Homo-oligomer: A and B are copies of this chain.
Amino acid sequence: MVNEKMMEKLKKLATLIRYYILIMTTYAGSGHPTSSLSGTELMACLLFGGIFRFDVDHPKSPNNDRLIFSKGHASPLFYALWTAAGELSEEDLLTYRKFGSPLEGHPTVSFRYVEAATGSLGQGLSIGVGMALNAKYIDKLPYRTYVLLGDSEMAEGSQWESMQIAAHYKLNNLIGILDVNRLGQRGETMYGWDIEAYEKRISSFGWKTIVLDGHSISGIFAAYEETLHVTDQPVMLIGKTIKGKGVSFIENKNGWHGKVLSKEECDRALKELGEIDKSVRGEISLPEDLRPKEPTPQKPLKKIDYPADKPVATRKAYGNALVRIFPQFPNMVSLDGEVSNSTYSEIFKETYPERFFEMYIAEQNMVGAALGLSRRGKIPFVSTFAAFFTRAFDQIRMSQYSDPNIKFVGSHAGVSIGEDGPSQMGLEDIAMFRAILNSVVLYPSDAISTERLVEEAAKHHGLVYIRTTRKETSIVYRPEEEFPIGGSKVLRRSDKDIATVIGAGVTLHEALEAYEALRKEGIFIRVIDLYSIKPIDERTLREAAQATKGIVTVEDHYAEGGIGEAVMSALATSRAPVYSLAVKKKPKSGKPQELLDYENISQIGIVRKVKELI
C-alpha cells in the first residue's frame, strides 16, 4: 500500500506534470493537453510509485521495464513524466513540436525514452506483445511491459488481435492501462463511460481486468500491486478518467481534443492547479542488474546445396535458409500468420520451435509484435502471403519511424500462383514496400539466390522485404554466387544485344526462355536479374541502357510502383526508353502459365516486345 508521504509526493508530482503539460502545449500552439491530463495519475503512480523499474542512465538496458504510449497523442504527458523525473528541463519542454527537437508531436525514437514511435492508434499493444514475448520466452527476463491505451483506439481491430495473442501466450508481464476519458476526437466514443462494456469485452478475451478510478492514487496503487501477482494472464487496468482533468473549464468537455489553451486560458488553468512545487522530483526504481547471456554467432551449420537440375520453390528455400543461418544470427525469431506450411517457415519451426511464434491470422498484431521484438534486439523474420502484408501496411509504415530491424517475407507473389485467384495474389506488395523510406526490397529467382538473400537480409540492419514464389523455379546460380544488396546479375550479354530484358523472380525465367527463343532467330538480348529492387543497381542499368536500344521490364506485379517504375526511376535522367510489361488486366483463376501469358508477362510477351523494338 502507498503510505501518506508517498501519496503527498505523488500528488505534488501530478500537479507538476499537469503544469508541464499545459505550458508546453500552450507554448507550442498545438498538441493534446486534455488527453494528457486524463492519464496523469495513472502514469505518475506507475513511474514514481515504485512500480516501474528503469535505469534512466541506460534506457536500452535489457532489464528495464518498458512503457509504450499507444495513445501517442498524449506525448505531452510522456515528456512531462520524464521532466518530472529530472531527465528533461522546462526549457527542453518548450522545444516541443519544434523542428529538430526530439520532443515530436507524437513520440518517435528521436527521444531516448521512447520504445517505439506511436501516433497511429491501436498499435502500441502489439508492440508490447512483442516485448513481452521477448521477456517471457526468449530473454527470460523479469522486465514488464506497460502500455497506455486510449478508449477511442479500442475500436481498432488490431487491439483485439493483440489482446487474443497476449492471452494465448499467457503474457502476465504485459499490462495495459486503459484511460477511459469518454471523449474521442469529435465526440463521445462508442461506449462513453460504460466501463462495464470494456470490462466484459476485455475479460472475454482472456485478460484479467481491474476497474479503477483513474485519478485515485490509492486505487491506482492497489491495482498496480495486484498486477504483480498475476501469473498466467495479461492484465488490463481500466481507469475511468476525466479528459482535461484538473482544469475545470475544459474538464469532460467536447471540442477540446487536440486543442491547446491560449496564453490567458493557460494562466487561468495554472492558477487552478494551486501550488506547483518545481523542486519535487519523481524517482524511478532501478531494475535488478541481470546480465542475460548474449548468444554467440557461429558459422552456419550447413552448406547451400541444391541439385542444379531440380526446380525448387523459392518459398521453400526460404525455410531452408532460416534453419541454415540461425547459428550465425542467433537473435533471429520467426513469426508466421497461420500459413507456415505455405511460406515454409515451418521448416524453421521444426528445427527451432522455441524461436517460432504462431501469430494466427492477425497480420497487424504480427507486424507490431515483430517491431517490439526488433526493439528488444531480435531479428524477426515475419512471413505470410505477400498479399496479406497489405493488411498490416499501417504497422509497416509506422515501423519505419522506430529504426526497425525486421525482415518481411511474402510468399505467393503474383498471378503465377494460379488457381487460387486474385484474392491470394500479391500484386501490390513491391509498391507497398518500396514506398517505405530506406527499405530494402529483394526478389530471388531461385533457391540459391533465396538462400543468399535471406542471409543478406539478416546481416542488414533495417526493414527488408523478400518476395518468394509459390511455384517451383529452376536453379539459375551456383552455390558460391554472391548477392549483395543493391546488386544485380547480368545473365546474358553479348556485343549484339539489341534490347535489355529485366526480370526478377518468376519473370527472370521467362526472360531466359525468351532469350533462347530469340537467339534461335539470331536476335540477342541482354538479360538482367534485378534481385535487388531497392536499392537498385543503377550502374548496371545505365550500362545496359547505353549498350542496347531499349529496356524491357517484366514483372508479376501491377505496373504502378513495381519493378518497371523502379527501373524508370533509376534511369529517369538517362534518356533510355523503358517498356514495362506487368500485370495490367484483372487477374483470374487459371494455370500459372496461362495467367503469365494472359498478362503478357511470359516469354511470349517478351519476345513480342523485343521484336517491336527492332
Contacts and interface: CB of A to CB of B under 8 A. Distances in A.
Interface of A: 28-31, 72, 97-101, 104-106, 108, 110, 117-122, 152-153, 155-161, 164, 168, 184-186, 189-190, 200-201, 203-205, 338-342, 346, 360-362, 364-365, 387-388, 390-391, 393-394, 396-398, 400-401, 419-424, 427-428, 431-432, 434-437, 534, 550, 558-562, 564-566, 568-569, 572-580, 583-586, 588-591, 594-595, 598
Contacts of A101: 589
Contacts of A117: 422-423
Contact of A560 (B152, B398, B431, B564): B431
Question: Which 9 pairs, one residue from A and one from B, show the smallest C-beta to C-beta distance?
Answer: A157-B157, A119-B423, A99-B590, A561-B561, A105-B421, A390-B393, A204-B204, A393-B393, A434-B560
A361 B122 contact: yes
Contacts of A393: 390-391, 393-394, 428, 432
Q: Which of A185, A362, A391, A586 has the most CB of B within 10 A?
A: A391
Contact of A572 (B184, B391, B436, B578): B578
Contacts of A550: 573
Contact of A432 (B28, B341, B432, B594): B432
A422 B436 contact: no
29 contacts: A30-B419, A31-B419, A99-B589, A105-B420, A105-B589, A119-B420, A119-B421, A155-B361, A156-B361, A157-B158, A184-B360, A186-B338, A190-B360, A201-B201, A201-B204, A390-B393, A391-B393, A391-B394, A393-B432, A397-B428, A401-B586, A428-B436, A431-B560, A435-B562, A437-B585, A568-B572, A572-B578, A575-B575, A575-B576
Given A365-B157, A421-B106, A423-B398, A340 B561 contact: no
Contacts of A577: 572-575
A108 B594 CA distance: 19
A259 B394 CA distance: 33
Given A185-B341, A560-B565, A575-B577, 19 more contacts: A99-B588, A100-B588, A105-B419, A108-B422, A108-B423, A155-B161, A156-B362, A185-B338, A185-B342, A400-B586, A427-B435, A428-B432, A434-B560, A435-B562, A534-B560, A561-B561, A565-B568, A568-B568, A568-B572
A186 B361 contact: no
A21 to B, nearest CB: 16
A422 B161 CA distance: 25
A432 B424 CA distance: 18
A388 B431 contact: no
Nearest to A28: B419
A598 B99 CA distance: 10
Copies per assembly: 2
B573 A569 contact: no
B561 A434 contact: yes
A165 B98 CA distance: 38
A105 B590 CA distance: 9
A200 B207 CA distance: 13
A519 to B, nearest CB: 25
A99 B594 contact: yes
A157 B423 contact: no
Contact of A30 (B31, B360, B400, B420): B420
A562 B436 CA distance: 12
A598 B153 CA distance: 32
A580 B566 CA distance: 13
A564 B97 CA distance: 30
Given A341-B186, A362-B156, A388 B564 contact: no
Contacts of A574: 577
A585 B400 CA distance: 12
A558 B437 contact: yes
A420 B99 contact: no
Nearest to A96: B589
A168 B393 CA distance: 27
Most B-side CB within 10 Å, residue of A119, A155, A342, A564: A155
A569 B575 contact: no
